[in-house]
Every structure is written in C-alpha cells, then in structure tokens.
Structure 1
Amino acid sequence: MTTTAQTGNGPMPRQISYIIGNEACERFSFYGMRNILVPFLISSILLGYLPSEGDREAQAKDIFHMFVIGVYFFPLLGGWLADRFFGKYHTILWFSLIYCAGHACLAMFENNANGFYTGLFLIALGSGGIKPLVVSFCGDQFDQTNKSKAKVVFDAFYWIINFGSFFASLLAPRLLDSYGPAVAFGVPGVLMFIATFVFWLGRKQYTNVPPSRRDPHGFSEVVKTALRAHSAGRMRLGLLVAMTGVTTAVVMLLLWALSATVGLSWWPTDFGFVITACLALGVIIALGGWGASMQIERARGLHPDAAVDGVRAVLRILIVFALVTPFWSLFDQKASTWIIQGREMVVPHAAWWWPSWLIDNPAQMQALNPLLVMLLIPFNNLMLYPALRRMGFEPTALRRMGWGIAISGTSWIVAGGLQIWLDGGQEVSLAWQSLPYLLLTFGEVLVSATALEFAYSQAPQAMKGVIMAFWYLTSTFGSLWVLLTNAGVRNEAVTSYIASTGLSENAFLMFFFAGFAFVAALAFGLYARRYPMQDHYRVA
C-alpha cells in the first residue's frame, strides 16, 4: 500500500466511465450544432436582410465568434458557483438542463431570430457553465494513490471528445442538407439529453469535493489583502494599477453605452457590447493581476504561506494562459473562415480516391480535425514523445504548448497560400485543405490536450474550478482577436493598406494570423523557460 501511494499507481476509479460517456454525447451535441452554424446562417432567412452573400458570410462569422465568446466566458460563472456554493456535480447537472433547453430552441425556432438567438444564448450558458467543471470533476476522482492514471484519463478524455466531434462533423451537415435545420439541430439536442442522463446515473459513485465556502484564505481574499495592505515607507502601487484597470473598464463600458444610446462618436462604432465587454474584462484581469503580483508579499503573516504561494502560482498560470489566446484565434476559425474558404473550392467527387460517401460538402472537412486528434494522441504518446526522450529532449507540457502554437501558425501560412491560389482564379480541390487541417490539429494536440493536464496539476485545490474557467476563457479572448480584426478591416485606411499589398483581404488576414501565432509562440517560449512547475494533485 505504501509503494502504491508513493508511485501513484493505484487502480482506475470505476466512476470514470460515466464521466467519459457523458462527455462523448455532450461533445457530439455541441459540435453537431456548432459545425453547421455558419452554413445555416449564411443560407437562412435570419440574415436575409443583408444584400449580398459576402455580407451574410461576414455577419455569420461575427455571430459564430460571439457565440464562441459566450461559450468560453460562462465557465467563469460555472466555476464560481461550483467552487463556492453547489459543488461540481450539482452545477454540472443543472447547467446541463439549461443546455438541453437551448438545443430545443434551435430546433423549434429556425425561422425566428429571437427564438434562435435565445437558443444560442442558452447553449452558450449551459455549455460554458459545465465546461470547466467536467474536466476538474474528472480530476477529483483521483488522488495521490492513483494520480499516474490521471494522465491516461485526460488523454482518453480528450480522445473521446474528438470521437463525438468526428461523427457530429460528418452527420450534422448531411442532416442539414437532407432534412433541414429542425432535424439537424434536433439530433444534437437528443444527444445532450442522453449525456445528462448518463452523468446522472453515476451520482452514487462519484467522489464529490465539497465547495470551499467563504474561505478566508481563498484567492480573492488574499488578493484583496495584498492590495489593501500598507507597508511602511512604500506606496501602494499595486493598488493603483488594479484600480486603473477597473476605472478603464468602467470608462470603456460607459463610452460604448453613450455611443449606442446618444450617438456620441467617442467609441469605435464597430465595437459592439460583446467586444467592449471582453476588452473591459481583459483590462481588469491584466491590470488586476499585475497589481496583485506587485504587492502579494504583503499578504504574508495575514494569510498562511501556502495560500499566498497558491495565489502567486495562479497569477503565473494566468500569464501562460494569456500567451495561448492567439492559438484559439486561429483554431476556432476552422469552423468559420475555413468553411467559407472551402465553399470556394471544388469537391473532387470524380477522383477515385475521394470518399464522396463520407465528405460531400466543405463543412464536413471539419471531421478531419477530430479524426486526426484520435490518431495523433496515441502516435505522440507511443512513438513521438518516447523517441524525443531517447534523443535527450524531454517534451514537457510547456514545451509542447509552445511548439503547438508555432505549428498552428504554419497551418495558416498554408491556408493563405491556398487563398492566393483561389484569388488567382484557379480551381482548387477541397482536398488541399487536408494539409492545413493536419498542421492545425497537430498544434491543437500539443496545446489543448496538454493544457487539460497542465491546468489541473498547477491549480491549488480550492481554486481548481476557477482556474479551469480561466483556461477556457482563453478561447473567449481568441475569438475577441478575430472580432477585433474583422472590425479593423472595415476601416478604410486598413483596407487601403491591404489593397496595396496585392493580396485579397482573406489572404492578408490568414498571413496576419499566422504572424500573430509566431510572435505568441516566441513570447510563450521565453516565459516558459522560467516558469516553476507545481504539483497540486489531491492527497488521499
């Protein structure tokens, strides 16, 4: 028993099967609706008021990325409710019911804008609310006696996500083409109900870590103490920085409100509420975190050293997370920009090697992503990583994530090359999109699959739900960069500059996002060199 505890090689928890089964069905439901959202909107009467297909494509992209922002913003709410009030199990169950209601709205209100957008909001709320909790709830089933099994389950967890996504990516576009939106959005709703039922079945076997109610030494309490504390002969510069962040955020929101209601031109007209609110949140997190880090040592003596060290660890993690946000600006556009690019390409039905029975429209190319994930995860674990170790190179979590960002940037160089080909009037086979999908997916496995393990292991026990919520918030800011870029290209000076390069707007933006990723990868690598790794698995 002592040996098992020391090695962490204990048995696999039996209840994991319910969590994995729930995740497979939930991911089918989510990706089933997500992957047909842009094609549906472009052709639906919901955007029929726009005069051209180009306008509908641009608006569909904006709606899609605003939806993604919501999906990855609401983990903050779900993590907070679970950590402070209801625990992970009950929070997951209740948000799952909201999730089911959202799917029902999509199926019933395909021609009603208010009903359809209400459904998108409910799905964003439900999916986002459970998103940080399922992974951390899965981690809660492990302790020091069997923590070596956790990496296997986290990889299996990510694999099963993509198993559900693969079949959803193939089936949903066919359902949309053959049976219409009601069925195409209804089937994912049925799968979400099944996911909720499977999760409920395991209720008597789960390990439930109770919420940390009113922890006097929790993250927010330590931060408040650090910011408020006086130190003889020293100014409270950290408090000044944090308050500057709050003040700036309030000013941003007020300027947006005045522009929207009174018509004052003090705020960019293309910066709607979603963009403004995300920018305000980003300012608060960035300056609040910076201010807290400047004065965190002032909390020692007023809080246990472990609590202060835990807050410092979280602040370090948030820097890692911030540097990952450019990756998500590339990754999430495969369901918007790449689908729109694919609509310009030719599906090679006549080629003997093309599986027309499997892929007959551009939206189904997204199935390559989960299929490749299911192949690459075992390839990396069984072949690539052992080979690198034999060569004396340890593929640590941070190294994998940094290389993943860079490789994702390379995928957009390839996509930009395909766009130049299309802009030149050439017929381009849809099969060429396989190459950027391969590169992007390889980058995803290195970044996202690794981050599930990294985020859980680095978070102190009392803050695991919230830190996972912050991880998912990186996708919100990834889509924010996309919305900001889309708003920027509506500016006449920007469009004139793009025209002077000789590139189309689409091609220019693809190379722009590639460069964005390369800069982020370089910054990530520099920071990773001095990041101190932690081990915060639960003690048995």
Structure 2
Amino acid sequence: MSDAAGATRARLPKQVPYIIGNEACERFSFYGMRNILVQFMVSSVILAYLPESAREGAAKDVFHSFVIGVYFFPLLGGWLSDRYFGKYNTVLWFSLIYCAGHACLALFEDNRNGFYTGLFLIALGSGGIKPLVVSFVGDQFDESNKSLAKVVFDFFYWIINFGSFFASLLMPLFLRSYGPSVAFGIPGLLMLIATVIFWLGRKQYIRVAPTRGEDPDSFYNVARTALTTEAEGQGRPGLRVLQAGVAVAAAMLLCWAFKPAFWPQDFGFVITACLALGALIGFGGVGVSMQLERARGRHSDPAIDSVRAVLRVIIVFALTTPFWSLFDQKASTWVLQGKTMVVPHDQWWWPSFLVKEASQMQALNPLLVMAIIPFNNIVLYPALRRWGFEPTALKRMGWGIAFSGVAWIVAGMIQLSIDGGDPVSLAWQIAPYALLTFGEVLVSATALEFAYSQATQAMKGVIMAFWYLASTFGSLWVLLTNAAVRNDAVISHIAGTGLSENAFLMFFFAVFAFVAAAVFALYARTYPMQDHYRTAAEAA
C-alpha cells in the first residue's frame, strides 16, 4: 500500500469528538466548583457553627478530604470497569452520580449535610471516571489510524487545561456576583451537558469488553501466587509481613471507632482510613517483594519482572506525595492568603475588568501549563542537552519537587510581609504560582511518561491507580499537619519561633519538599530503568 493511500485511510474516528467534548465540559465543571470551594465555605453558613478563627482550618480540612476522595475512587471505577461493566457503562453511570453531586451543591448551599453529600457524590463520580476516559479514547484507535492517537492525546491534555483556565477565571466572579447557587449550578449544568455529549456517541464507540479478572498474569494474581507459595525450609516471611500490615490497618480503624486515650482526637475517619491504606500498601509491597521469585515458573517471566517494576515505581510515587501536598494547597492555603492581599486595581497593567478575586489567581496554573510544556520541549530540554546535562525523567521529577519547595519559600516570604501589617499586592502571588506550575510540569507530565515505560501493557492500569493515590496521600499530609497545629504543644512551639502559624507552615512545607527532593534524588541514582515501549515489530 502506498504512503498516500495509508494517509488517506488514516482518519480521525468520528466518535472521538464526543469524548473530547465530554472531557472539556467535565473539566470545566470540576475545576469550576473545586476552585471556589474554600472561598465559599469560609464565609458560608456551612461552617457558621465554628468560631470565625477556626473556619479557615475547617475549610481546608473539608477541601483536602474531598481531594482525597477524588483520587481514591479511581480504584473503584477502574475495578468496576475492568471486572464487570466496561468503560462506557462505568463512565456513563458515574457521570450521573457526578451530576447528582453538583445538584446537591447548588440546592443545599445552606444545609451542611446536603452540601457534604454533594461533595461525596462529586468525589465518587469524578474519581470513578478519572482512570477511564483517557484509556477509552485510546480504545477508539486501531492499526489504521494509530498515528493520529498522539495528536488526540495532546489535544486531550490541552482541553483539560483550557477548561480549567476558564473555570478558574470565571466561577469566582459568578460566586461574587450571583451567589453560590448560580456559581455551583453552572458547573452542574456543564457536567450534565458533558454526560449528554458522551451519551450521544453511544452507537459509534468501540467498546472493549471487560477482562472480568481473567488475566492469569495480572498484578493481583502474580502477587497472590508469590505470597502463598511455600519454599522448603524458608517459611513465608513475605506473607507474615502482609499480615502484620493488615493487623496494623485493622488496629488503626479500631482506634478510630473506640477512640482510646492515646489516639489523637483529630484523627477522623478520612485520616485513619488513609493511614490504614498506606499500611496495607507499604507492608504488602514489602511482603510481595520478599517472595516474588516464588511466582517464577507459575507466571511468565515478563509478568514477574513487571510486578517488580511496579513495586519500584510505587516507591517513586510515594516520594512525590510531598509535592502533591504543596500543589493542592494552591486551592486552599494560597486562596486564603490571597484574600488578605490587595488587588492592584490602581495599576495600569492589572486586568481589573476580569481579575477581581484572589481565587482567580488559580487560572494562572492551567495558562502557564499550556505555555511551559512547549517551552520545555522546544527550548529548555534541547538547551540542557547541548550543555551536557541529560534531563532524564527521574531528574526532572526530582527538580520539580524542589521547585515546589522554592514556590513555598516565596509564598512564606509574602506571608511575612502580610504579617508585618503593610498592604501586599496580590500580584506578588504570580511568582509562587509560576514556580509551582513549573514544578508541576516537571513532576506530573513526566511521571506519566516514566510510569508508562516501566511496566508491561497489562500492568499499566495498576501503575495509574497508584499514581492517583499519590495525590490522595499528598492531601493526607496536609490533614495531618492541620491536625498537629491544633495541639497545644505545637502551637506553643510555633509561637516561640516568632512566626505566625501561616508563615511557619509555609516554610515547613517548603522544607518538607526539599527533604523529599533529596531523598528522591538518592533513590533515583540506584533505580534500574526499564523500557517497556512497544517495539517496531509489535507496533506493525
């Protein structure tokens, strides 16, 4: 077949625009409500039962608990899709749950239980579809048009940031001018439109049947074989480690239920459940690693090697959790800081007709992402290579974590100026937003490239599940820190530094990121890189 004929046949699947349209509206709806959540809660009747001094901390707790749910529920969505319903049905049904959650926010702006129910449903719906939509796009391509897949994926990522940009810019204005019912109702309407668009393409989609757990070389099956296989005279130490993790997790949940005197009172269900999950993953990973070779002979060698690669990647992802603890606070801590700053309407260069609220500064993030990614690929990385420095995936991720720490140093210096009593222009927040976004591109965009190369095709779903959990544990760090600063001894220590609580925590998180970056760099030096991209023969 001639190249011309091949080019003629390579056409964009006509069903892909339905998925792209769905994603654009869904991302607008998600970031539209997410980025006004803290701003709304601080001044709403939802937290009116608390003293005014405690509302900001409570709003941050609610926000980060919500984020934990958003990045935990991909486990459920991915499992239901793979085992039972397939991607299309799972996305559609979770989208309806998503719409119900938005409706609750709009209808129950003054009802705590109704509002929190809405947040739970949005976390469930958004998380449930998160691991599926991108892979569903990939399912629509075959050998005849796979050359167009990269173009679609690039546009897919661009449309996510496009929707996020306009949602972050406009929704604070709607909240300010028309109130929470309208500000939360518009994202709900966009989610309904997203669901309808997705449904309209139902007769044209390629639907890959669920595996129903029948893959004999799946991560779970290989791990189970490794843990349960006995070796003569050696016992099963890995299984004992896993059982210890189960015992620790169960003990944590029992402490939450019965609240013994030694258990911190501020450790609610969300914190406890995340700690228990962390214990299961940590102990389970060590246990499987100890006995993995016992699965050899019962499973294929590539499957066993890929499970080992996944276990190594989990450590890499765990070391990025401090980054996510800093990154997600741009929608909580930084918004609250911005509310104490002065919007520079008197400056000729400030777009006063558009930017009126501190929470709108979050629009800088997607705007800068769309600019930084091409800058890095076209200018920065080639320049570094010319200077003899190869920006490998792990090096980029380590530097990204470090840049997030620099961003929080700058935010802390801004806070010191605010605490000094002088008016501080909101424009100063441009610097930490730019630094944090640069760090995000180095960490987030690179991590997906890195993870894809480290495991076989069958393990890529497991890799993505653990990647989403990195954000869950990032918000857990924030909840643990917020709980700690309610302790009298910690409060006294902060007071002894001469810093305000806000400034102290900003510098604390910066140091946290620098330590994580150093540990990441040490681990990266000994990490054995894999290459599981398809060969030309496999792609042909």
How does the TM-score come out when normalised to structure 1?
0.93
Does the CA-based 8 Å contact 1:80-1:465 persist in structure 2?
no
Does the CA-based 8 Å contact 2:306-2:454 persist in structure 1?
no
> Residue 453 of structure 1 aligns with which residue?
449
Pair 1:39-2:36 in alignment = no
Q: Residues 78-116 of structure 1, C-alpha deviation per residue, up to 9 Å, x if partnerless?
A: 111112222222211211111111111111111111111
Give SS of 1:217's match: coil
> Residue 298 of structure 1 aligns with which residue?
294
Q: Distance in 1 between matches of 2:35 and 2:454?
A: 32
Q: Distance in 1 between matches of 2:106 and 2:147?
A: 43
Pair 1:126-2:125 in alignment = yes
Q: Distance in 2 between matches of 1:90 and 1:532?
A: 37
When residues 319 and 137 of structure 1 are mapped into structure 2, their CA distance, relative to the original with a 3 A threshold, is farther
Q: Residues 465-485 of structure 1, C-alpha deviation per residue, up to 9 Å, x if partnerless?
A: 343222111111000000000
Q: Residues 278-312 of structure 1, C-alpha deviation per residue, up to 9 Å, x if partnerless?
A: 00000100110111011100001122223212222
> Residue 218 of structure 1 aligns with which residue?
218
> Residue 7 of structure 1 aligns with which residue?
none
Q: Distance in 2 between matches of 1:457 and 1:86?
A: 28
What amino acid sits opposite 2:529 in the alignment? P
Q: Distance in 1 between matches of 2:501 and 2:470?
A: 26
Pair 1:494-2:490 in alignment = yes
Q: Distance in 2 between matches of 1:522 and 1:337?
A: 25
What amino acid sits opposite 1:182 in the alignment? S
- 1:477-516 matches, within 5 Å, as 477-516=473-512
> Residue 243 of structure 2 aligns with which residue?
243
Q: Distance in 2 between matches of 1:2 and 1:485?
A: 62
Question: How big is the shift at 1:50?
Answer: 1.2
Structure 1, gaps ≥5 residues long: 5-9
Structure 2, gaps ≥5 residues long: 5-9
> Residue 272 of structure 1 aligns with which residue?
268
Pair 1:19-2:19 in alignment = yes
Pair 1:439-2:438 in alignment = no
> Residue 51 of structure 2 aligns with which residue?
51
> Residue 166 of structure 1 aligns with which residue?
165
How does the TM-score come out when normalised to structure 2?
0.93
Give the superposed CA RMSD: 2.2
> Residue 352 of structure 1 aligns with which residue?
348
Does the CA-based 8 Å contact 1:83-1:463 persist in structure 2?
no
Question: How big is the shift at 1:141?
Answer: 4.3
Select which of 350, 362, 365 maps to 2:361.
365
Q: Residues 354-397 of structure 1, C-alpha deviation per residue, up to 9 Å, x if partnerless?
A: 11111111111111111111111222222222323333433333
Equivalenced residue count is: 531
Q: Residues 1-33 of structure 1, C-alpha deviation per residue, up to 9 Å, x if partnerless?
A: 7999xxxxx776554433332221111000000
Deviates more, 1:66-75 or 1:449-458: 449-458
Deviates more, 1:387-396 or 1:370-379: 387-396
When residues 256 and 513 of structure 1 are mapped into structure 2, their CA distance, relative to the original with a 3 A threshold, is same
Q: Distance in 2 between matches of 1:153 and 1:291?
A: 40
What amino acid sits opposite 1:121 in the alignment? F
Q: Distance in 2 between matches of 1:39 and 1:455?
A: 35
Question: How big is the shift at 1:49?
Answer: 1.0
Q: Distance in 2 between matches of 1:527 and 1:296?
A: 21
What amino acid sits opposite 2:97 in the alignment? I
What amino acid sits opposite 1:30 in the alignment? F
Select which of 532, 537, 540 maps to 2:529.
532
Question: How big is the shift at 1:60?
Answer: 0.6
Q: Residues 107-142 of structure 1, C-alpha deviation per residue, up to 9 Å, x if partnerless?
A: 111111111111100000000001111223334445
- 1:109-124 matches, within 5 Å, as 109-124=108-123
* Identity, % of aligned positions: 72
What amino acid sits opposite 1:157 in the alignment? F
Does the CA-based 8 Å contact 2:165-2:366 persist in structure 1?
yes
Does the CA-based 8 Å contact 1:388-1:395 persist in structure 2?
yes
When residues 13 and 400 of structure 1 are mapped into structure 2, their CA distance, relative to the original with a 3 A threshold, is farther
What amino acid sits opposite 1:174 in the alignment? L
Higher relative contact order (CA 8 A, sep 6+): 1
Q: Distance in 1 between matches of 2:198 and 2:436?
A: 31
Q: Distance in 2 between matches of 1:231 and 1:173?
A: 62
When residues 388 and 307 of structure 1 are mapped into structure 2, their CA distance, relative to the original with a 3 A threshold, is same
Q: Residues 226-254 of structure 1, C-alpha deviation per residue, up to 9 Å, x if partnerless?
A: 11111122232211111111110000000
What amino acid sits opposite 2:89 in the alignment? H
Give SS of 1:132's match: coil
When residues 526 and 200 of structure 1 are mapped into structure 2, their CA distance, relative to the original with a 3 A threshold, is farther
Does the CA-based 8 Å contact 1:151-1:453 persist in structure 2?
no
Question: How big is the shift at 1:71?
Answer: 0.7
